[in-house]
Chains A and B, each alone.
Chain A
Amino acid sequence: RRRAVRGGGRRCGSLGPSPLTGSPPQALVDDTEDVSLDFGSEEELALRKAKIRHPLATFFHLFFRVSAIITYLFCDWFSNSFVACFVTILLLLSFDFWSVKNVTGRLLVGLRWWNQIDEDGKSHWVFEAKRVPTIAASTEAEARIFWLGLIICPVIWTVFFFSTLFSLKLKWLALVIAGISLQTANLYGYIHCKLGGQKSISRGTSKFSVTDVPKRQTGRVSEDRIEEHGKTGTR
């Protein structure tokens, strides 16, 4: 949504002489052509005040990771079968990896990373950070939950790794290694995004990669539609 901006800014119209022309607002600018405020509705006001704007995303961000850890710790209570526990934990870890990478990252902190293969077969890792805040952008609380969840869980899985190794319960080792690699991959990707985002110049989005992002057939890659006043996220 682009709006023509006249004179002194978005809320002009009845603010007196416009600074650019130095004369009273012209007949072109009358009250019916005021640029209306974006955030007048009650729903949006409530959204801005809420501490957590994406409750579902926050829940799922933590749900899969924490359930994987709990299942690992208490698998003997749930079931006698090693296989069932193994498969359950593995599926939880995979869902967690997918949801943190594809959904909660972009909703909670506006960061995204992915891998891309160009025509030469070279693979590029692209890291992207959204800079312009929108109405439904994340809050402090959400960002804090995101990073805490992202950092604490790989640490816990590393502890499990050592405990498995030293107690010689080696059949769990494959699972613990899978857990560590999946969660560390997400952690590494997001830290890369975050650090890169802080270094870049102020643009709508900061994107740093080896090549420019070409258009892809499947549409997994995108450009952010970041405009002057941002965009309301659909959730």
Chain B
Amino acid sequence: FAGLADVSISEDIPVEGEITIPVGSRSPDEDYSTLDEPVRDTILRDLKAVGKKFVHVMYPKKSSALLRDWDLWGPLVLCVSLALMLQGGSADSKDDGGPQFAEVFVIIWFGAVVITLNSKLLGGTISFFQSLCVLGYCVLPLTVAMLVCRLVLLAGSGTVSFIIRLIVVVAMFGWSTLASTAFLADSQPPNRKALVVYPIFLFYFVISWMILTFTPQ
């Protein structure tokens, strides 16, 4: 800076400029500021994300959208509707299938947590909540199966209805398992894929079993 010692700025020159506090990175993200957006935008955006994921489950292909943006709203809604449909008995008595309702809830969430822990212990690269998200969303085909079963049971509960229910449940079980392994197995090293797929298979098997053996009182 020695050479600048004799430089002086003429006092007639007005000095002006802009004073702004530089923010982290002035990237094109300025259009995406979600801090001040109206609440309705936030709600709509989250709803759209949930809807997109449902579509992804129905047509499973290896896309990263399901994994990048996890959310647990879908699993919550599916879990509640499945548990509601699986409870037996009338809804207004004291003994109204309360334990079964909480049971289904606990099985689904606890099962999903155990599978996630298992895949993490096997060295998977997927994060805890992503895995919960995928497993929860892939319960969708089984929820559809439950709906179909209840409708079929309204018509009658003979052998024919059992066969129909069996076919539907097996098909949806296969769909669920395939959809979730399409997303989850990729995160594992190749020699461990079977070890990861097996608990998922069990998990959906238990849920399918509950659906198939459901009889309304």
Contact = CB atoms under 8 A, between A and B. Distances in A.
Interface in B79-125: 80, 84, 87, 91-94, 96-99, 101-102, 105-106, 125
Nearest to A91: B80
Interface string B25-38: 11111101111111
A65 interface: no
B116 to A, nearest CB: 12
Nearest to B10: A21
Contact of A87 (B17, B36, B84, B94): B84
B contact residues, range: 35 or more
B32 A221 contact: yes
Given A121-B126, A212-B25, A86 B102 contact: yes
A117 B33 contact: no
Given A4-B18, A21-B13, A83-B91, A115 B129 contact: yes
Contacts, number: 162
Nearest to A131: B21
Contacts of B25: 212-213, 223
A219 B34 contact: yes
B87 A5 contact: no
Interface stretch (B67-75, B172-180, B197-205): B67-75
A228 B92 contact: no
Given A5-B19, A215-B28, A117 B68 contact: yes
B11 interface: yes
Given A4-B16, A6-B16, A223-B25, A120 B125 contact: yes
A26 B14 contact: yes
A203 interface: yes
A contact residues, range: 35 or more
A143 interface: no
Interface of B: 11-30, 32-39, 42, 45-46, 49, 67-70, 73, 76, 80, 84, 87, 91-94, 96-99, 101-102, 105-106, 125-130, 187
10 contacts: A2-B18, A81-B91, A112-B35, A121-B126, A121-B187, A122-B125, A203-B22, A215-B32, A223-B29, A227-B20
Given A3-B18, A21-B12, 6 more contacts: A7-B16, A86-B102, A117-B69, A121-B187, A132-B21, A222-B35
Rank and list the top 10 A-B pairs by shortest CB-CB distance, nearest first. A82-B98, A123-B127, A219-B32, A222-B33, A222-B34, A204-B23, A121-B125, A223-B29, A204-B21, A20-B15
